[in-house]
A and B are shown apart, each in its own frame.
Chain A
Amino acid sequence: MARSASSSAAAVWAILRKECRSEWRTRYGLNAALLFAITSLAGVSFAVGPLGDRTDILSGMLWVVLLFAALASLSHAFVREIEGHTLTLLRLVATPTAIGLGKLLFNLIFLAVIEAVTVPLFLLLMGGPPPKWGRFALVLILGSVALAAACTLVSAIIAQTRGRGALFAGASLPLLLPVLAAAVKGTRAQWQGGTVGAEASILIAYAAAVFGVSLLLYDHLWED
């Protein structure tokens, strides 16, 4: 039992390293995602202007921009696999669950990199009061984890269809609405001086639920 657990952990780690390495080799996914995130942020900032102390709109806009960034970039991990025809090879060497986990961790890192650029830019461009960093970071991290979990699962499904980009966004959105609602409320709360405990719990619960269901479903995903 212990050996299979450690060997699947090893598989996940190996997949993660492979993902990072192949992404770093070309970086076209990362570049495109960063460009898209910055462009949508610029568009929003240009259209709306600095928001001063409208923390309710600020929280909403922040998560809309992050949502766009996620939808534009998180399907990349699986699509690259399909287009490079490497999925079959991957399935030979790892269990579906290990693949799913490895991709999820990769997507998390990917999203973190994008947010590291986008979030500070957002705070700079859109104005707004300085956030309560602890609570802000908590909501940001938990929200991103939930986003990544849902998007990874959906992208695994979509990668096998003819739909790709638009279908990925459309299919992900129902699963992302709970995240959006809780994350926006939490971000707003920390700006308006409240606590984020309730929203944080919702985000954790949702991320855990999606992750748990993913583990059950990955085995069914790749059968042919």
Chain B
Amino acid sequence: MIARGLLFVWIAVWMVLGFVWAPVVPVLGDTTRVLYFHIPAAWVTVLALAWSMIQSVLYLAKRRMEHDDHAAAAAELGILFCIVATISGSLWAKAMWGSYWNWDPRETSIFFLLLIYAAYLALRSAVDGEERRARLSAIYSAAAFVAVPFLMFIVPRIYDSLHPSPILPSPREKGSMDPRIRTVFLAMLVGFTALFWWLLSLRTRFARVERRRLDAAAAGA
């Protein structure tokens, strides 16, 4: 209970500090605050994907349903945070640089992650049978894992020359200039990560309870 309260206060306080204490980045103006939400959301997106893929491999190795619970829960949370990151990023881009979408390297990467999440969840919904669903989605996750390094690191280098990115300073570099901005940013990073773990535990606990109920019903019937 204390941990929950602490999480609430932590995020609330740093949110306020982000608005009234930390300065704005000159180039970004008042929209600076978006980075306290947008970048942590993107970070959680990646974290969730990594967790989901690790749990998928663990499932294939150990065949314990807890791993599948985690893989699925992380994917559901991941796509949520991914949508938040994509939309906030797009609105920010429109406010700052005039267009909602440019296919610059970061936008391409986040869209790619959205695709992976969507494909994974669509696959899960198309399979009957708990074990088969767990196995097939774990296999797909492992296959998608191959594409990730290519699309996060190699393709952006290609896209740089295909589509010149708008001439803009990387917000991350700017954000690390003023120590107050950096402090709030890192604090929100921590807060979002903690929020993710809490949501993950809620989701997996619910999955376990659901399964117990279904097993009991099947046994009773």
A181 located at the interface, meaning its Cβ lies under 8 Å from any Cβ of chain B in the complex:
yes
Nearest A residue to B123 via CB reads A171
A213: contacting residue among B146, B150, B162, CB under 8 A: B146
The residue on B at minimum CB distance from A223 is B135
Residues from 45 to 75 in B contacting A, C-beta threshold 8 Å: 60
Chain B residues with a Cβ closer than 8 Å to the other chain, count: 32
Q: B158 contacts which chain A residues (CB < 8 A)?
A: 181-182, 185, 199, 202
Q: Nearest CB to that of A171 among chain B residues?
A: B119
Chain A CB count within 10 A is highest, among B122, B131, B159, for: B122
| In the complex, per-residue mask of A166-179: 1 if CB is within 8 Å of any chain B CB, else 0 | 01001101110110
Complex Cα distance, B119 from A216, in Å, reads 21
List residues of chain B with CB within 8 A of the CB of A182: 154-155, 158
- If the complex has contacts A157-B123, A163-B123, are A210 and B143 also in contact, measured as CB distance less than 8 A? yes
User: In the complex the two chains form, is B128's CB within 8 Å of A157's CB?
Assistant: no
Q: How far is the CA of A209 from the CA of B142 in the complex (A)?
A: 12
B85: Cβ under 8 A from any A Cβ: no
B136-152 interface (Cβ within 8 A of A): 136, 138-140, 142-147, 150-151
Q: Which of B109-136 contact A (CB under 8 A)?
A: 112, 115-116, 118-119, 122-123, 126-128, 131-132, 135-136
A-B contact count (CB 8 A): 101
* A154 and B150 form a contact (CB under 8 A): no
Interface string of B25-36 (1 = CB under 8 A from A): 000000000000
Contact with A160, one of B118, B119, B127, B145 (Cβ below 8 angstroms): B127
Chain B residue contacts of A224, Cβ below 8 A? 131-132
Asked if A171 and B122 sit within 8 Å, CB to CB, the answer is yes
Whole-angstrom distance between the alpha carbons of A154 and B131 in the complex? 18
- State how many angstroms separate the Cβ of A166 from the closest Cβ of chain B: 9
The reply on A35 being an interface residue by CB < 8 A is: no
Give the residue of B135, B146, B150, B161 whose beta carbon is less than 8 angstroms from that of A220: B135
Which one of B123, B145, B147, B155 lies within 8 Å of A161 (CB-CB)?
B123
- Chain A residues within CB distance 8 Å of chain B: 56, 150, 153-154, 157-158, 160-163, 167, 170-171, 173-175, 177-178, 181-182, 184-185, 188, 199, 202, 205-206, 209-210, 213-214, 216-217, 220-221, 223-224
